[in-house]
Amino acid sequence: MSSTIDTIKDQIASHPILIYMKGAPNAPQCGFSARAVQALMSCGQKFAYVDILQNPDIRAELPKYANWPTFPQLWVKGELVGGSDIILELAESGELQTMLEAAAQD
């Protein structure tokens, strides 16, 4: 029997760029998720997402696993980058673009 943590680890391992968010990229369900996903899309790299509203187990377990209490959460190459504020700061500085391009090439 697979645990929710195993599922989370598998999702993070199988997608170089992954965002845990409320809703979907084309229909975010909160302002933080909307801004974060907009910043991601502006970088032009493909990314995976998990709608935590559709996955209450992941919504409950991921903050403990990641030691990060809020959503969205951006994971790049297995590392937690952070939430909406950090994503927007990285986007403004150009670092997000560089980070995502590097992740997409590996």
Query: How confident is the model over 1-20, as a mean pLDDT?
Result: 93
Known binding site for [2Fe-2S] cluster: residues?
30
Which of the four pLDDT bands, split at 50, 70 and 90, describes residue 1? Answer: very low
pLDDT tens column, 61-90? 999 999 999 999 999 999 999 999 999 999
CA distance 14 to 32: 24
Known binding site: residues?
22, 30, 59, 71, 84-85
Give the model's pLDDT for residue 105.
Answer: 87
pLDDT tens column, 17-69? 999 999 999 999 999 999 999 999 999 999 999 999 999 999 999 999 999 99
Identity at 102, one-letter amino acid code: A
* Cα distances (angstroms) measured from residue 61 to each of 17, 31, 40, 55: 20, 22, 24, 10
**Cβ proximity of 89 and 39 under 8 Å:** no
The residues spanned by each domain of the chain are 4-99
* Residue range 4-99 in CATH 3.40.30.10: yes
Long-range Cβ contact pairs of 25-28 (< 8 A, separation 24 or more): 25/49
Known binding site for glutathione: residues?
22, 59, 71, 84-85
pTM above 0.85, yes or no: yes
